[in-house]
């Protein structure tokens, strides 16, 4: 005696295959959510105690990154400028601007402004600014067009896959050290060659390979090893 109808076999197979597709779709959705600004904060402008404009200070006034981020070439941290750095100028200009009252109050009280970190890596990730700067990684390679940001935002996802893209092909991104802080730097082309170590380069990969060798950038196997960033 047949208990189940013959169509039950077909229905069972369809259910199993359907479940596989549903699970796969769920993983794809979760992966996209994980990469979205909702998780990464990419492109998000976070509130700050003072609406500091990099566009005004860098492009408008021509202030070099290192004037404020003093330790970027020698330390793992770029450094958040103390209030005294702001007051070097603002004790003489915009002295009564209401917008800058938190800066003046910080200076009077000797209490640091509580800036909100924009580019924040997890505690289990080790990142050293000085190594990247001295190997020819430009500021805007990671931080984006900071000189065009009225309000600072995170330019990239800062996720591991994004870091590994550079670590697996550093020659595609590096530049001469004297161009690291040049926010308008352009990769070499036939119309805009770049001179490095006495040679002229018209394409990025040739220049990059020369820089990688000259600056002794470690092998791909080394800089993609887990303990390079997870110590």
CA 68 – CA 53 distance, rounded (Å): 13
What is the pLDDT, as a whole number, of residue 25? 83
Question: pTM for the complete prediction?
Answer: 0.85
- Three-state SS string over 115-156 comes to CCCCCCCCCCCCCCHHHHHHCCCCHHHHHCCHHHCCCCEECC
Q: Would you state the torsion angle of the CA atoms of residues 27, 33, 35, 41, taken in this order, to the nearest 10 degrees?
A: -160
Neighbour tally for 110: CB within 10 Å? 8
CA 153 – CA 155 distance, rounded (Å): 6
Phi and psi torsions of 90, nearest 5°: -80, 5
Q: Is 216 left (phi over 0), alpha (psi -120 to 50) or beta?
A: left
Among 43, 23, 62, 9, CA closest to 157? 43
What is the pLDDT, as a whole number, of residue 142? 96
Among 158, 73, 74, 162, CA closest to 121? 158
What is the pLDDT, as a whole number, of residue 6? 67
- Residue 216 in tokens: 């002794």
Task: List the chain pLDDT tens, one digit each, 231 residues.
Answer: 556 666 666 777 778 878 888 888 887 887 777 788 888 999 999 999 999 999 999 999 999 999 999 999 999 999 899 999 999 999 999 999 999 999 999 999 999 999 999 998 999 999 999 999 999 999 999 999 999 999 999 999 999 999 999 999 999 999 999 999 999 999 999 999 999 999 999 999 999 999 999 999 999 999 999 999 998
DSSP 42: B
DSSP 61: T
């Amino acid at each position: 005696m047949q208990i189940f109808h013959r169509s039950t076999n077909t229905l069972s197979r369809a259910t199993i295959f359907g479940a596989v597709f549903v699970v796969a779709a769920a993983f794809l959705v979760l992966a996209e959510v994980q990469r979205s600004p909702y998780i990464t904060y990419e492109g998000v402008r976070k509130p700050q105690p003072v609406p500091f404009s990099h566009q005004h200070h860098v492009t408008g006034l021509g202030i070099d990154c290192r004037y404020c981020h003093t330790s970027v070439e020698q330390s793992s941290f770029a450094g958040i400028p103390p209030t005294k750095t702001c007051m070097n100028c603002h004790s003489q200009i915009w002295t009564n601007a209401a917008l800058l009252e938190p800066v003046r109050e910080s200076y009077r009280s000797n209490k640091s402004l509580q800036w909100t970190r924009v580019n924040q890596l997890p505690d289990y990730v080790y990142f050293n600014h000085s190594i990247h700067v001295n190997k020819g990684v430009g500021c805007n390679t990671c931080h984006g067009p900071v000189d065009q940001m009225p309000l600072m935002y995170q330019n990239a996802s800062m996720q591991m896959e994004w870091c590994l893209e550079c670590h697996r092909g550093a020659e595609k991104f590096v530049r001469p050290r004297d161009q690291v802080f040049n926010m308008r730097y352009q990769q070499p082309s036939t119309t805009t060659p770049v001179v490095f170590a006495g040679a002229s380069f018209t394409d990025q990969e040739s220049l990059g390979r020369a820089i990688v060798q000259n600056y002794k950038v470690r092998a791909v196997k080394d800089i993609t090893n887990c303990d390079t960033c997870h110590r």
